[in-house]
Amino acid sequence: MKSLKFLSVTASCLFFVQTATAQENPAISKEYSNETIASMVQKYKMSHAHDVAPPATLTAKFKSDFPGAYHAEWEVADSIYEVEFDVKFRDYEAYYDAKGNLLMVVEEIYRSELPAIVKNAAETKYPKYHFEDIDKIRRGTEVFYKIEMEFRDTEVKLLVKSDGTISEERIDH
Give the model confidence (pLDDT) of 61-115 as tens digits: 999 999 999 999 999 999 999 999 999 999 999 999 999 999 999 999 999 999 9
At 150-168, the pLDDT tens digits run 999 999 999 999 999 999 9
Whole-number Å distance between alpha carbons of 34 and 63: 24
Burial (0-12, 13-18, 19+ Cβ within 10 Å), 118: buried
Buried b (16+ CB within 10 A) or exposed e, 69-98: beebebbbbeebbbbebebeeeebbbbbbe
| More confident: 25 or 112 | 112
Give Cα 12 distance to the centre of its chain: 27
- Supply the pLDDT for residue 2: 53
| More confident: 163 or 25 | 163
Whole-number Å distance between alpha carbons of 173 and 159: 18
Nearest to 43 by CA among 86, 5, 79, 70: 79
State the average pLDDT for the chain: 89
Nearest to 71 by CA among 100, 91, 50: 91
Q: What is the CA radius of gyration of the chain?
A: 19
How many alpha carbons lie under 13 Å from residue 10 in its C-beta half-sphere? 6
Domains of the chain: 27-105 (3.10.450.360), 111-172 (3.10.450.40)
Whole-number Å distance between alpha carbons of 159 and 161: 7
Whole-number Å distance between alpha carbons of 9 and 12: 5
